[in-house]
Structure 1
Amino acid sequence: MPPPLRMPWPTPPSPRPHPTPRRPTQPRPTQLPPRTDPFRVSRAPAVVPAFDAVIVAGGRAHRLHGASKPALLWNGRSLRDRSLAAVGSARAIVWVGDGDAGLDPRVIVTRERPLYGGPAAALAAGLAALPHPLAPMIVVIAVDLPRIEEAVAALLSAVAVADADVDVDDGDGTARSRDGVIGVDAAGFRQPLLAAYRSEALESAVRSHADPIDGSSLRRLIRDLRLREIALPDGVTADIDTPEDAAYHGIALPHETEEHTP
């Protein structure tokens, strides 16, 4: 009997390689512009030059019923301590006003002459009290700004840019640097007591001021300086001049505290 006929098994087809799945085409992300800092005006590296500081802390505070502005408390800290902290990295600090036991002994205390001669006289007195040679920049601030630390940080972040900034004088075509930076409030008004001035320019402005410095306008004193304006956020430039200002910031005046004392 012949052997059974064996049929060969069909050879299975070679498996085809699976195609590599293709990722769906994604639209290229839109190139967003770099984030801009409202206090920076160029791509220059932020290197803050050495600076001195003048804190204007005098004044009679008539509208605050004679309350000491430096002693007012905002969120648990005095305006004095806030202003000193704001310029804590200064080479030298001059306090133009009444000294008190709470001041760091390294702070230079002086007063304008005659007393209560106004901000321009206070600035001139503070400038005269700084040790020489002066630092390249002088930061000038008022003590009655609760958010002074934010404001000074904004100024210092712009100082390095202004320090390297060169403009062309329209008079004779001579290139020269800016004379500093000055804070501008939300309404567009310059704040001379919230500024960083080039020391040489500020000294020159005080020396060449024609009017008596006592009672003079600080805006008039600095009007010829070439200052870069720094727009500050709303509220940063708000000061404490009236009981309404104090109430708005939640600051209790001394006579109010006494009235609530049992």
Structure 2
Amino acid sequence: MEPDALEYDAVILAGGRSSRLGGRPKHRLTYDGATLLQRSLDAAGGAGASVVVGPDPGVLPAGVISCREEPPFAGPAAAVAAGLAALAGSGAVRPLTLVLACDMPNVGMAVHALREALQLHGPPRERNAPHPPVSSRGPQALGPDGVMAVSADGRRQPLVGFYSTPALERSMQDLRSRGALTNSSMTALLASLDVQLVTVPAGSTDDVDTWDDAAALGVASQEP
């Protein structure tokens, strides 16, 4: 399968408090002449539809929609849920959803690696579909619910992954039914998913939490 044949939408999270950056929104920081939000949108190129979840994303490219999780700052699981709802409201419901945070300046390399994994193994199978013969699946055959980035040193990054849209919806509804969606983590949202870990290039999931992180990665504060 060619990567461009993937059918997916993108949910880009841009709604954290940035408390360790003095409240400066991460998505407005710049790297190599572009904001971190624009770099995430570029990394999601090829998505059928994209939504940015967070306050005041600024001017967005044509066709990109925006929304906000409720209540504000309710955590990444609630933000993904808001993004999925916004996509569904726009008529976009594709088999896969690319979930990205907007604080990783080199995330495009990680997304490329995930796309290569999907190209090599084929898209995730439906959960109830029969398994191919073991001899043809190989040890790294994909599970039913997608692929997630993991760094070379073994750190999982759930905010860089292609996930089965129906599986995300099921998990979201389960958390909501238990009153647990607000303030839930991505780990909680993905706990019931069968996701393949894919090792991505060094540095591609390094994120900006502090000004020291920004300096180490060459990320700058946006000029007024």
Task: Quickly name the TM-score band, shorter chain normalised.
Answer: 0.7 to 0.9
- Shift in Å at residue 134 of structure 1? 0.8
Correspondence list, 1:1-262, <5 A: 45-47=1-3, 48-131=5-88, 132=91, 134-164=93-123, 175=131, 178-209=144-175, 210-253=178-221
Give the share of equivalent positions with the same residue, in percent: 39
**Residue deviations 1:141-165, cap 9 Å, x none?**
0000000111111112222445456
**Residue deviations 1:31-70, cap 9 Å, x none?**
xxxxxxxxxxxxxx44542110000011110100111211
* Aligned CA-pair RMSD: 2.5
Instruction: Return closer, same or farther for 1:164/1:139 CA change in 2, 3 Å cut-off.
Output: closer
C-alpha distance in structure 1 between counterparts of 2:187 and 2:98, whole Å: 16
Unaligned runs of 5+ in 1: 1-44
C-alpha distance in structure 1 between counterparts of 2:166 and 2:180, whole Å: 20
Q: Which has the larger radius of gyration?
A: 1
Structure of greater relative contact order (alpha carbons < 8 Å, 6+ residues apart): 2
Q: Between Structure 1 and Structure 2, how many residues are aligned?
A: 209
Instruction: Verify the 8 A CA contact 2:95 2:165 in the aligned structure 1.
Output: yes
Instruction: Verify the 8 A CA contact 1:162 1:228 in the aligned structure 2.
Output: no
Letter in 2 for 1:54: V
Q: TM-score, normalised by structure 2?
A: 0.84
Instruction: Return closer, same or farther for 1:127/1:162 CA change in 2, 3 Å cut-off.
Output: farther
Instruction: Return closer, same or farther for 1:233/1:202 CA change in 2, 3 Å cut-off.
Output: same
Q: TM-score, normalised by structure 1?
A: 0.73
Task: Name whichever of 77-86 and 131-140 sits farther off.
Answer: 131-140
Task: Name whichever of 72-81 and 127-136 sits farther off.
Answer: 127-136
The aligned counterpart of 1:37 is none
Letter in 2 for 1:155: L
- Shift in Å at residue 76 of structure 1? 1.6
Instruction: Verify the 8 A CA contact 2:40 2:107 in the aligned structure 1.
Output: yes
Letter in 2 for 1:142: A
C-alpha distance in structure 1 between counterparts of 2:26 and 2:73, whole Å: 14
